[in-house]
Structures are given as structure tokens and as C-alpha cells.
């Protein structure tokens, strides 16, 4: 699945406006699990769980008042409970016409330096111009590039205003990047993090050895070189169950206790040995490109 449109509407800055599309930037490596009804049975004298029939479990919407089940979405509305007054409910049309200042647009409120606490980021999107808005979009992007500023705006999605930061794509692509961020009062202050002991003193040997390990593990493009093994692990488990065989489970990671210097020394030795070992992909490439040996000519008798 490639990029897909998540939102369409104008970016407005006073009288200056142009239409854009927000595109999803990616998709996770998810395995689709289904919920199944689990029963129990005796196998070899042991009580084990087995799928019941096997049948999927359905989430059936039920009315708490009349007990009606399998409610149609057209009979369901959203509401807010008011203490002592019961529920105040709204139709879909009422919510869609909620008088939010941002309406159905990204309203630019201000510009600021490209600096934001990393915990503020919630979602990200690619932004491209809609048909006919290419030139004003390019002008807006060029101004952000030359000033080094980001645009701060508001947009309404699903009956809620969201704070948005717009900036040029860092790779130099002609699109913009939109980051939906938490409002300032939505992020818990760092003062709420429980206190812990942090005032340690380290000697030069400890700092030097720890720095050596970090330096050895440094690599360009590291963020994209780390692989997600979840799907492969789930696929292996599924195949093992289909073939009715056991699958080996790696031992869980544990925190080693002991002298810090000794643990650092063992870690450094492990990384040094790993660095000396030939990389699997290089070995495979060498084998693939190696020319087969020519048979030796037999000498005349």
C-alpha cells in the first residue's frame, strides 16, 4: 500500500490561500490478528485451549436501555453527559457544522524557528498541492526554506481542532511536511516524572570505554538499517502451528549486574569481535560473484 490521501482542504494565510492534500507517510508492519472464541478440551490427559469451531468474535453494539443488539450506525449519535441533566446529544450534521475558527482549512496562525520538543509530535503527513494550486504552494514552500521558519497552524479533523507545524521536506523533495502536535497543555510536564538518583561521578576509564563502544556502534543511516523482526517472528510461529511443530523461543533479555568496568570491557570485546567478523551480506555477494574454477587440463601420458 502506497501513500493515500488523508485530508483535503485549503491552507489559508489571510487572503492568500491554496488547496492541498495531506498524504499518509507510511504504514506499520502489522500482522492482522482475528479474535476467536476459545474453548477447552482434554488432549493427552491435559486441559488445553482450542479455537471454538473456530469462530470469529464480533463486537456487537448493544443499547443499555432497551437491550437492542446489532445497532445500525444510522441510529447512533454522539453525546456529552451533563451532571444532573443526562445526555446532550448531537446529530452528525450538527457536529460537522461545529463553529470552529479553523473550519475545513489549515489556518496559519504564526511562524517560528524550527524548534520543538520531540514529545510534542503526534502524527506526520506529506503535503502536496491540489490541482491548480502548484504555484502558490511552491511560493509558500520557498519562503519557509529561505527564512528557515516553520508555519504554525490549526486544522479541524473529526470535531476537534489540531495544532499543525508545516515545514519543507528535509530531503529536498518539493513537498511539505505537516506534523500534527500536542497542544502545550496536553503534554505532561517533565516535573511529573518521578525523581531518581542521577548525580553520579564517573572516572576517565569508565567514560573512555563507554565512548569507545558508542563510537564503534556509530553508523550513517542507522535509523533505516535497524530491521523490524515482528512480522518474521509471527510468520514463523504461524508456519510452525500449521506444520504442528515446536518453535524455539529465545531467552528474554536480562540486565546484567556487576562491576561497571567489567561489563563495559566485555561489551567492548564483543563489539570488536563482531566488527572483525565478515558481514553475511558481503560473504553472500562474494560467493555469488566468484567465478567457478576451470577444470585443470590433463597432461599427455
Q: What cell does 135 get?
A: 504555484
CA geometry: angle 136, 139, 143, nearest 5 deg: 140
Lowest mean pLDDT among 69-78, 158-167, 202-211, 227-236: 227-236
Local confidence band at 263 (pLDDT 50, 70, 90 cut-offs) = confident
pLDDT for the residue numbered 42: 72
Within-domain flag for 275? no
The domain that holds 175 is classified in CATH as 2.40.290.10
When pLDDT is averaged across residues 69-94 and rounded to a whole number, the result is 85
The closest of 105, 104, 75 to 92, measured between CA atoms, is: 75
Question: How many structural domains are present in the chain?
Answer: 1
> Quick check: 271 pLDDT over 80?
yes
> Quick check: 3 pLDDT over 90?
no
**In which domain, by residue range, is 162 found?**
5-24+100-188
Q: What cell does 195 get?
A: 525523581
- Tell the residue number behind the cell numbers 488432549, with chain if given: 43
When pLDDT is averaged across residues 259-267 and rounded to a whole number, the result is 86
> Quick check: 166 pLDDT over 70?
yes
Q: Compute the mean pLDDT over every residue in the chain, rounded to the nearest whole number.
A: 82
Lowest mean pLDDT among 36-40, 65-69, 122-126, 198-202: 36-40
Lowest mean pLDDT among 71-80, 145-154, 229-238: 229-238
Give the range with max mean pLDDT: 27-41, 169-183, 224-238, 278-292.
169-183
Higher local confidence (pLDDT), 298 or 151: 151
Within-domain flag for 210? no
Is this prediction's pTM over 0.85? no
Alpha carbon distance 206, 212 (integer Å): 10
Within-domain flag for 297? no
Model pLDDT for residues 76-85, shown as the tens digit of each residue: 888 888 898 8
- What is the β-pairing status of strands 106-113 and 78-82? unpaired
Within-domain flag for 131? yes
Within-domain flag for 299? no
Q: What percent of the chain has pLDDT above 90?
A: 28
> Quick check: 193 pLDDT over 60?
yes
Alpha carbon distance 107, 20 (integer Å): 12
Give the range with max mean pLDDT: 24-38, 146-160, 233-247.
146-160
22, 2 Cβ separation under 8 angstroms: no
pLDDT for the residue numbered 287: 52
Within-domain flag for 115? yes
Within-domain flag for 179? yes
Amino acid at each position: 500500500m502506497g501513500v493515500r490521501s488523508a485530508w483535503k482542504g485549503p491552507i489559508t494565510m489571510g487572503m492568500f490561500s491554496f488547496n492541498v492534500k495531506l498524504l499518509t507517510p507510511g504504514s506499520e508492519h502489522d500482522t492482522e490478528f482475528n479474535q476467536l472464541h476459545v474453548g477447552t478440551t482434554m488432549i493427552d490427559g491435559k486441559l488445553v485451549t482450542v479455537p471454538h469451531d473456530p469462530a470469529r468474535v464480533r463486537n456487537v453494539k448493544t443499547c443499555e436501555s432497551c437491550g437492542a443488539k446489532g445497532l445500525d450506525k444510522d441510529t447512533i449519535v454522539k453525546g456529552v453527559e451533563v451532571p444532573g441533566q443526562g445526555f446532550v446529544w448531537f446529530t452528525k450534521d450538527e457536529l460537522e457544522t461545529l463553529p470552529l475558527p479553523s473550519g475545513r482549512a489549515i489556518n496559519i496562525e504564526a511562524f517560528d524557528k524550527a524548534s520543538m520538543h520531540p514529545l510534542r509530535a503526534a502524527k506526520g503527513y506529506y503535503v502536496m498541492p491540489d490541482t491548480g494550486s502548484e504555484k502558490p504552494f511552491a511560493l509558500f514552500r520557498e519562503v519557509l526554506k529561505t527564512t528557515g521558519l516553520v508555519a504554525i497552524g490549526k486544522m479541524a479533523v473529526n470535531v476537534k481542532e489540531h495544532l499543525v507545524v508545516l515545514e519543507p521536506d528535509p530531503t529536498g523533495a518539493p513537498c511539505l511536511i505537516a506534523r500534527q502536535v500536542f497542544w502545550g497543555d496536553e503534554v505532561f510536564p517533565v516535573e511529573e516524572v518521578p525523581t531518581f538518583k542521577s548525580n553520579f561521578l564517573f572516572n576517565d576509564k569508565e567514560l573512555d570505554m563507554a565512548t569507545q563502544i558508542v563510537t564503534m556502534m556509530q553508523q550513517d543511516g542507522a535509523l533505516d538499517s535497524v530491521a523490524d523482526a515482528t512480522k518474521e517472528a509471527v510468520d514463523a510461529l504461524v508456519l510452525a502451528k500449521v506444520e504442528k511443530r515446536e518453535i524455539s523461543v529465545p531467552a528474554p533479555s536480562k540486565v546484567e549486574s556487576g562491576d561497571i568496568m567489567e561489563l563495559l570491557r566485555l561489551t567492548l570485546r564483543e563489539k570488536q569481535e563482531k566488527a572483525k567478523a565478515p558481514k553475511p551480506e558481503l560473504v553472500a555477494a562474494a560467493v555469488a560473484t566468484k567465478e567457478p574454477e576451470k577444470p585443470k587440463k590433463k597432461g599427455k601420458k
